[in-house]
Structure 1
Amino acid sequence: MTLQNRVFPTGEIVARPFRGEWMGNRGILHDDQRRLGAARWRHKNWICCALEFRGRHRQVMRPRNYTELFFLDDATALAVGHRPCAECRNADYRRFKAVWEECFGPAFATEIDRALHLARVGRDRRQLRHRGQARDLPDGAMFVTDRVWLVWAGQAHEWHEQGYGSPTALPAADVQVLTPAPMVRVLAAGYHPQPHVSLA
């Protein structure tokens, strides 16, 4: 059974057979039959976790436990507003927090989550997007035209469910940016997400 727990960079949570390289948590979004309800989050601390940590094993979408969401890669998780987990990705979280504080000043995780939440979803509960010049976006940021793109090594890579396409030149254009504005600033200041295997 393919569960509805795969997250696209455009914010949709869909039922697809790919798992991806990272897992996320926004609280309990599913019922006892492992079906998603209307809610897309239950708290503001959206995190991105490693698939494996200290030998722990979980039954996916177990009743009355948080809904495991899956992302193709780290950049996809950042694009929808998930930060690194402070437990299973402690080194990444500390790097992220240090760069965040360089940009915005000292902050606890709850303050970071609150700021990200204001930048990732609107009052209509849909993904917030902003405008930017594609060629000014840092590596790790994602934008959308008729397709979804990742900026990596100064080029554009088309996002697919299984990985990224061949690099192409960034358009000299104003584009719709998916990655929340504070996250773009953190990326520009030096935080580097872990690259997907298809980018090697």
Structure 2
Amino acid sequence: MLQNRVTPFGNIIKTSARGSLMGNRGLLHNEKQEIKRPFKLTAWITCVLEFKDRKRPVMAPGQYTEFFFMDEATSFAAGHRPCFECRRSEASAFKTFWLKGNPEYGFNSKTPIKLIDDILQKERIDTDYKKVTFEEDPVALPDGTFVVFGNEPYLIKKGMLHLWSAEGYGIAKSLPQEKLSVLTPKSIVNTFKAGYLPSFIE
């Protein structure tokens, strides 16, 4: 069993559960298929599982590390964004709504995606490689956002909390009346508020 599944915390774990999307942060593994670093590139992308009949062995020596997400909401919580090659329509929509939701940066449609990636890098992981979070009232958060409740990751959907696991979501529970730590990077939360609705496993 390979260490190639990503949690909403951005951690890469071992599990037999399969994912619906693939992720890429560059070459993270060694010749023994062991994860040796959390990332190499600042462009953390989310890809489809199949594209143009391309075939490649997972964690091949010297090649980028393939890992997997349960769904798109999980990938966003980990700090990834859609790939502009294999998910062009989603990537274009993401950039459009990111710009709309984060006007304070003064970016426009011609702004290179690298500048957005640089902001996401600061929002998802600190210099000690620890997950960056912020506090917010869950009532103010849009669907698709992940929060921490009781030290566990929960998805907010339709005004309820849904416990995440590698196999799927648990039974819904009511939102608590307290601020929670938000796992989804702040500018991505703003992107959801502006109109981008991430997909999630039902």
Residue 134 (structure 1) aligned with residue 132 (structure 2): no
Aligned partner of residue 100 in structure 1, secondary structure: helix
TM-score normalised by length of structure 2 = 0.93
Q: Match of 2:60, as an amino acid?
A: R
Residue type at the aligned position of 1:83: R
Match of 2:189 in 1: 184
TM-superposed deviation, 1:15: 1.2
Aligned mate of 1:193, from 189, 195, 198: 198
TM-score under structure 1 length normalisation: 0.94
Structure 2: runs of 5+ lacking an equivalent = none
Corresponding residue for residue 19 of structure 2:
20
> Which one of 59, 63, 66 corresponds to residue 65 of structure 1?
63
> Is this contact kept in 1: 2:145–2:156, CA < 8 A?
yes
Q: Aligned to 1:49, which of 39, 47, 50?
A: 47
Deviation at 1:162, TM superposition (A): 0.7
Query: Shift of the alpha carbon at 1:156?
Result: 1.2
Query: Which is worse superposed, 149-158 or 91-100?
Result: 149-158
SS of residue matched to 1:79: helix
Question: CA separation in 2, counterparts of 1:175 and 1:181?
Answer: 13
* Pairing of 1:15-164 with structure 2 (within 5 A): 15-37=14-36, 39-104=37-102, 105-106=107-108, 107-146=111-150, 147-164=152-169
What amino acid is aligned across from residue 42 of structure 1 in structure 2? Answer: K
Q: Is the counterpart of residue 174 in structure 1 residue 179 in structure 2?
A: yes
Q: Can you list the C-alpha shifts for 1:8-50, whole angstroms capped at 9, x where unaligned?
A: 112221111112111100000011111111x111110000011
Instruction: Report the alpha carbon displacement of residue 167 of structure 1 after superposing the two structures with TM.
Output: 2.1
- Secondary structure at the counterpart of residue 174 of structure 2: coil
Aligned residue-pair number: 195
For 2:38 and 2:68, locate their aligned partners in 1 and report how far apart those are by CA, in whole Å.
14
Q: Percent identity over the alignment?
A: 39
Cα offset for 1:169? 1.6
RMSD (CA atoms): 1.0
Cα separation, 1, equivalents of 2:129 and 2:63: 23
**Displacement over 4 Å in runs of 4+:** none
Contact 2:25/2:44 (8 A) holds in 1:
yes
